[in-house]
Structures are given as C-alpha cells and as structure tokens.
Amino acid sequence: MTHDVHSGLHSEHGGTRREHPGRAANPVIKVADLAWLEFVKTDLRRAETFLTDFGFTVAARTGSALHLRGTLPGSHCLVVRKGPVSRFVGPAFRAAEPADLTRLAAATGGRVRDLDTPGGGRAVDLVDPSGLPVRVVHGAEELPALDGQRPLPFNRGRDIARINLTQRPAREPARVERLGHVVLQTPRFGRALDWYLETLGMIVSDFLYLDGRRDRGPTMAFVRCDRGTEPADHHTLAMHLGPGTGYVHSAYQVADLDALAAGGEYLKSRGYRRSWGIGRHVQGSQIFDYWRDPDRLMVEHFTDGDLFDSAVEPGWAAMSASGLAQWGPPATRDFLGSSPSPALLRDVLSALRADNEIDPGRLVGLMKAMSR
C-alpha cells in the first residue's frame, strides 16, 4: 500500500479530475529555490539591529543597502535598501541553469541583465499577475558556510547521547541558517498561482479551501520547487486569496527547537513582540515561532520542516484556525489579523468574478473590512 504523506488530523488526500492539478504540463523553466527577498526600510541602523538580533549575519553593507545571510553556504538571503517607506519589494528565485534565464526572457519579453550589487550574478525581472516584482537570478556569489549552532544531543529512552553532562542552551540569537519560504496574499489567486506554476515551474504540495465550499476551488496553496527526485521544502512559496496584495510573512530555518526557543527568549529580552508560537504546523510540519519586526512585518523562525520530491501530488484540506497547528497555543489575533478570516473569505468568494479574481469594485470595501 502506498503511504499517504498527507494523512493526518486536518488533511485529506487528493483532488478530483475537475480540480486544479497543482502543476503545469510544460512550464517555461523550473526554479531551484528562493534566492533572496528584498525590502525597503526607512532606518537601516534599526533594521540591522533587529535582523542581527533575529539571527542574520551581515554579508555586505553600503550607505544605502544591507545584504544579510544565514550560516549555510549560498547567496545572501535578504536585501534591505534605504527608502522613504518601509515595505516589501519582492522575491528573487534561483534559476537552475544559466540557459534558463535566456529561455525565460524569450518567453516573457524580458531581458537578461547583469546585477550591479554585492554578489553579482545575472537576472531577469518579471511582474506577477498581482503586480508584484519577481526576479529570477543565476550566478550570484556563493558565500562559504559560517559556524552555526549545533543541534543539542538528546537522551531518548535507552539511546544515550550524553553522560555527566548538562543541557544549558545559551540565551542568544537563534542563528538563521537559510531562507525557507515567503507567504503572499493576492486578489488574483487563480491567475497568480497559475503564473508561478507555468512560468517558474513550481508545484503545489497542499491546497486549502473554505470549509463547505470546496466547489469554489482553493483559497490557499503551499507551493514547492520541482527538483525531480531531489527533495525540496514542502513550500517555498505560499499564497492565499484576499483583498490585499503582497507580503504576509517570511520564514527562516534554525538548527533545532532549543535554538528556536532560546532565540525567542533572547528576542523577548530585547523588547520585541512575539506574534504566535511556539507550535508545530500541519501543512509543512515545521516547528514555528512568529515575531514582528519594528515595522510590524512578520518573520518566522522554523525548524524540522517536511521535504517532498516531485512524485507527491497535492493534498486538499479545509481552511480553519485549528488546522494551522498540530500543537501549541491557539493562533493569536495578531497572527490571524495578517490573513483574512473565514467570514471575510466568504465575502471575498462572493466578490469573485468568473475569471476567479476579486471584482475591483469590491476591493475597497473588503480592505476596510479586513482592517477592522
């Protein structure tokens, strides 16, 4: 019998023939991973203080920008530029091959250009159907590994890892290892999802739908990179339907639960605000801890996430607050405030046009309802 990777309390396996297949038959390219995320901040010094407290290392610094990295080898994973308004700019995905940039530019009417930034590389700049800038890059400098936090040895039953030694994890920043995923909201969910599948070759790990309204299609998708037989994170990108456009949160891997929890104690001692945690998710299975930066953007520490290869088909489950976590405290109002409530989603669905986009005439009212 084939093991159902989606089996569990909140999830059911498989779609019907009429439902979204979760992948494109002939994508333009298949991106290998997220490369980095780009933000604008009004105060770079304040941004650097928070980000190093959160666990990043500065890879490069200029008068107008910061490049931050994790401990694992690879490119920087955050670019923060100085600007008049703090905001999320967009994601950069890593192409698997140099020729992918040429193929992508030809298919989209774009062009391949050199990046004049620390780390270099080449890129094609695109815009997704929500209007979000999306960059696909190749050839950025591969930074060497840094010393990271080692997972602590555990005594498990008769499996003894330490004798005459104590466990005293330091209260210090949880050292970020790498960028894991970004979550976006869009009023053009169907078209935006198809764009990422058809243009960047990503595939869906899990769909969520509004309880009792599966016939209206999914309202959220957890999307991974298609690396064939090489496993990839359960989701590199997650998207949900809503009246807003753009950033919801981004997530960064740390060594283990102790690093995550002790890092959280350090952030709390520094006066930062936890949004929700600590708990373990359902879709993706990550142990999570969510925080707000000084501009109230949400960022997540995570560890122990699921890895899927390309053989796994999408799971389908109803969207609910209880379905967000297997264990942990109830989802907070602060965390849920970053996503539409089920009641608002019902209003969103009633405002959908035939092309599965929110009627522009209803957007202002829905945005006001979301802000209440």
Q: C-alpha dihedral over 44, 72, 117, 291, to 10 degrees? A: -30
What mean pLDDT is predicted for residues 325-350? 79
> Per-residue pLDDT averaged across 49-56, rounded?
98
Rounded to the nearest integer, the mean pLDDT of the chain is: 90
- Verify cis geometry, omega within 30 degrees of 0, for the bond prior to 278: yes
What is d(CA 267, CA 254) in angstroms, rounded to the nearest whole number?
14
The reply to whether the predicted model has a pTM over 0.85 is: yes
Q: Residue 278 and residue 297: Cα distance in Å, rounded?
A: 18
Block residue for tokens 């990043």: 56
The predicted pLDDT at position 213 comes to 82
Q: What is the pLDDT of residue 8?
A: 58
At 127, is the secondary structure helix, strand, or coil?
strand
When pLDDT is cut at 50, 70 and 90, the band that residue 1 belongs to is very low
The one-letter code for the residue type at 248 is V
User: Quick one: pLDDT band at residue 295, thresholds 50, 70, 90?
Assistant: very high
Of 250 and 337, the structure prediction assigns the larger pLDDT to 250
pLDDT value of position 56: 98
Label residue 6 by pLDDT band (50, 70, 90).
Answer: low
Q: Is the pLDDT of residue 251 over 90?
A: yes
pLDDT for residue 249 is more than 80: yes
pLDDT-based confidence at residue 353 (cuts at 50, 70, 90):
low
Burial of 180 (0-12, 13-18, 19+ CB in 10 A): buried
User: Can you tell me the mean pLDDT for 206-227?
Assistant: 91
164: phi > 0 → left, psi -120 to 50 → alpha, else beta; which?
Answer: left
Q: What confidence tier does 344 reach under pLDDT thresholds 50, 70, 90?
A: low
Residue 9 has pLDDT above 50, yes or no: no
Residues 6 or more apart whose Cβ sits within 8 Å of residue 150: 255
Element (H, E) at 275: strand 273-281
227-266 CB burial, b ≥16 within 10 A, e <16: beeeebbbbbbbbbbbbbbebbbbbbbbbbbbbbbbbbeb
How many whole angstroms separate alpha carbon 129 and alpha carbon 189? 9
Question: Whose CA is closest to 138, among 173, 98, 182?
Answer: 98
Average of pLDDT values for 60-71?
95
Q: Answer yes or no: is pLDDT of 202 > 80.
A: yes
pLDDT tier for residue 357 given thresholds of 50, 70 and 90: low
**Tokens 């037989």, residue?**
229
Which of 5-14, 203-212, 239-248 shows the lowest mean pLDDT across its residues?
A: 5-14
In the predicted structure, residue 168 carries a pLDDT above the cut 50: yes
Q: What is the mean pLDDT of residues 7-24?
A: 70
What is the C-alpha separation between 213 and 233, in angstroms, rounded?
A: 28
DSSP H or E segment with residue 190: helix 189-200
More confident residue, 3 or 309: 309
Q: If you average pLDDT over residues 131-151, what whole number do you get? A: 96
